[in-house]
Amino acid sequence: MTLTSTTPELVAPRPRGGIVQGINDSLVMAKRNLIRMSRIPEMVIFGLIQPIMFVVLFSYVFGGSMMIGGSTSAADYRNFLMAGIFAQTVTFATAGAGAGIADDMHKGLIDRFRSLPMARGAVLTGRTLADLVQTALTMVVLAIVALLVGWRIHEGVPKALAGFLLLLLLGYAFSWIGALIGLSVRTPEAATSGGLIWLFPVTFISNAFVPTENMASWLQPIAEWNPFSATVQACRELFGNPGVSPSDAWPMQHPVWASLLWSVVIIVVFRTLAVRKYRSATA
């Protein structure tokens, strides 16, 4: 008579389903990332210094050299500029999102999360939500600095708040691009570099810092159909800031709707790709 012993096979717990459970898991992960950010205050400080430097440099170095609507007033340029600086700030946060996810991958934390019975997309959603909160805090500080250098809103507080919500929505959309980049590289350093390379042409081939009519003719349509340009133009209208006559391009004629549409499309496409990449990268 022989005795055979069997050892139970270890199986990773299956993630719990349901929309409500997925939301709860995402909020837990967002809380984890916010606590982590609070324990590294230099991350927040350095994130504030860069946009403040852009405000000061562009306002006082280029302010008297730019012609906006036939005027070379430095004050007019500061009001024209701020929507672009706000938009640049929320999109540059993308690099931080990618670096954070790449760091978790590099340290093996993602594998630990996989062993938990949680929604697969919760890790990425929690990270992007935490970055959204940090970006919102940065925007508050940046708006105060902008007011100190002479920026003003002229269409009332409700419309101004709508403009800031459009900015945060664009930043959240771009953070999913950063998440995909973070999952696609091996180190946080590579994620930071990869997250910035594509952002420079997106932000500078736009109406953020100069009117598109001053660009080369072949470059103007690219700038006018840039999602970044649509959000900047929408914010200028909602803030009541001076600008130039918009072109006949649909996004420039209907910038608020164009900004909403672009942001939603980017979220849907890149969240799908990022979650799929997450599953394959940790399988």
Q: Reduced to 3 states, what is the DSSP secondary structure of residue 65? A: coil
Residue 262 reports pLDDT greater than 90: yes
Q: Reduced to 3 states, what is the DSSP secondary structure of residue 148? A: helix
Residue 189 reports pLDDT greater than 90: no
CB atoms within 10 A of CB 48: 16
Q: Is 7 a domain residue?
A: no
**Sequence letter at residue 16:** R
Longest dimension (CA), the chain: 100
The highest-confidence range among 180-184, 193-197, 226-230, by mean pLDDT, is: 226-230
**Domains in the chain, number:** 1
Six token digits for residue 71: 């005027």
Over residues 88-107, mean pLDDT: 81
Q: Is 11 a domain residue?
A: no
Q: Is 5 a domain residue?
A: no
Q: Which residues contact 216 (CB under 8 A, 6 or more apart)?
A: none
Q: Is 254 a domain residue?
A: yes
Can you give the residue range of the structural domain that contains 72? 19-281
Q: Which residues contact 183 (CB under 8 A, 6 or more apart)?
A: 101, 102, 105, 274, 277, 278, 281
Give percent above pLDDT 70 in the chain: 86
Q: Is 1 a domain residue?
A: no
Residue 46 reports pLDDT greater than 70: yes
Q: What is the DSSP string of 88-139?
A: HHHHHHHHHHHHHHHHHHHHTHHHHHHTSSS-TTHHHHHHHHHHHHHHHHHH
For 107-130, the pLDDT digits (tens) are 777 777 777 777 777 888 888 898
Indicate the helix (H) or strand (E) that contains 63.
none
Residue 134 reports pLDDT greater than 90: no
- pLDDT number for residue 5: 46
Q: Is 8 a domain residue?
A: no
What does the alpha-carbon distance between residue 186 and residue 150 come to, in Å, rounded to a whole number? Answer: 44
Higher pLDDT, 71 or 101: 101
Six token digits for residue 223: 């700038």
What does the alpha-carbon distance between residue 252 and residue 259 come to, in Å, rounded to a whole number? Answer: 10
Q: Is 3 a domain residue?
A: no
Q: Which of 66-70, 88-92, 183-187, 256-260 has the lowest mean pLDDT?
A: 66-70
Are the C-beta atoms of 92 and 142 separated by less than 8 Å? no
Q: What is the pTM of this model?
A: 0.85
Q: Is 12 a domain residue?
A: no
